[in-house]
């Protein structure tokens, strides 16, 4: 990666697929697969759900990541059960902080909810915010709440997947 950034990695940097894949973008080129980073505060519930739903829908066609602005210590068990019910999985996932290098190279950043804050000027037009349904405001809790949130996220993920694959 350092060699790529300094220009010493190969004679024809713009055609070096290994280099392009390593950093995501260079002089307008993008990696072979589109990429997305889902962000919420704790990275234990909604961003994990969105990432799991995208992985299930996209398979290997999209590089999927999730992170939190203030990561918690564990994933939300009710969220995990809800996505498992539709064939998605949190397997191997855990709350993690935002990696600045990853943030800089992904094609799209989706901030979920109003509480998570990122520096918008650093992201340009690659960022969008999803104000998701919050059933608890209507007195709905437990598994029903999680399933409604999951369904809201799943519908948004389907639209985003179409956009990413058409890029």
On whether the pTM is more than 0.75, the answer is yes
The pLDDT, as a whole number, for residue 67 is: 98
Cα 31 to Cα 43: distance, rounded to the nearest angstrom: 25
Q: Which residue has the tokens 């998570």?
A: 116
Q: What confidence tens digit (pLDDT) does each residue in 42-86 have?
A: 999 999 999 999 999 999 999 999 999 999 999 999 999 999 999
């Amino acid at each position: 990666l350092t060699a790529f950034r300094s220009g010493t990695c190969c004679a024809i940097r713009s055609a070096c697929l290994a280099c392009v894949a390593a950093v995501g973008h260079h002089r307008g080129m993008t990696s072979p697969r589109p990429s997305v980073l889902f962000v919420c505060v704790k990275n234990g519930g909604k961003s994990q759900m969105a990432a799991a739903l995208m992985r299930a829908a996209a398979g290997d066609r999209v590089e999927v990541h999730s992170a939190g602005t203030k990561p918690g210590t564990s994933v939300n068990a009710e969220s995990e059960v809800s996505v498992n019910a539709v064939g998605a999985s949190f397997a191997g996932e855990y709350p993690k902080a935002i990696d600045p290098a990853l943030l800089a190279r992904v094609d799209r950043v989706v901030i979920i909810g109003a509480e998570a804050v990122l520096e918008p000027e650093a992201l340009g037009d690659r960022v969008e915010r999803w104000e998701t349904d919050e059933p608890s405001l209507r007195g709905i809790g437990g598994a029903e709440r999680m399933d409604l949130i999951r369904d809201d996220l799943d519908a948004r993920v389907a639209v985003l997947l179409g956009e990413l694959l058409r890029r």
